[in-house]
Amino acid sequence: MTAHAAARGFLAEFGGLRFMFSGPGVEVARSAFLRDPSVCEGEEDLCLEWSEELGRRLFPIGEQAEGVAFLAIDEHGAVISLGTGVAETYGPVPAAFERMLLGYKAAVLGWVAGGGITGR
């Protein structure tokens, strides 16, 4: 996968950051997240499938909740969580960090039902 400009800029500025915390948040429990695309190796097809479904160019940037979900960034700089059967957005960087750190709920973009990606 080739990184788009938003992904390259994001990784140059924030790559390698690890936030290890848990506990109550404003709307949902907070969870750890890591900004390291190497943890997503082998999951390129997941990003490509969601990219096609959502009409966004996604590039992997790390993981959330110690591997429960992968994190991606779209061409506009929005952070997307690709969890078990659901794609959610925390919005654009740097506000996405604040939302994740404080425990705000992400907005659902799409979900998987019956073995395929459906809905928006």
User: Total structural domains in the chain?
Assistant: 1
The predicted pLDDT at position 2 comes to 87
pLDDT given at position 107: 95
Each of the 120 residues of the chain gets a pLDDT tens digit; together they read: 788 999 889 888 887 777 788 889 999 988 888 777 777 777 778 888 889 989 999 999 888 877 678 899 999 999 999 987 899 999 999 899 899 899 999 999 988 654 444 444
Q: Where are the alpha helices (DSSP H) in 62-116?
A: 95-102
pLDDT at 81: 92
Exposed e or buried b for every residue in 82-113, given b needs 16+ CB within 10 A?
Answer: bbeebbbbbbebeebbebbeebbebeebbbbe
Q: What is the pTM of this model?
A: 0.84
Structure-token pair, residue 8: 């390259």
Q: 16 lies in which domain range?
A: 5-118
In the prediction, which pLDDT does 95 show? Answer: 93
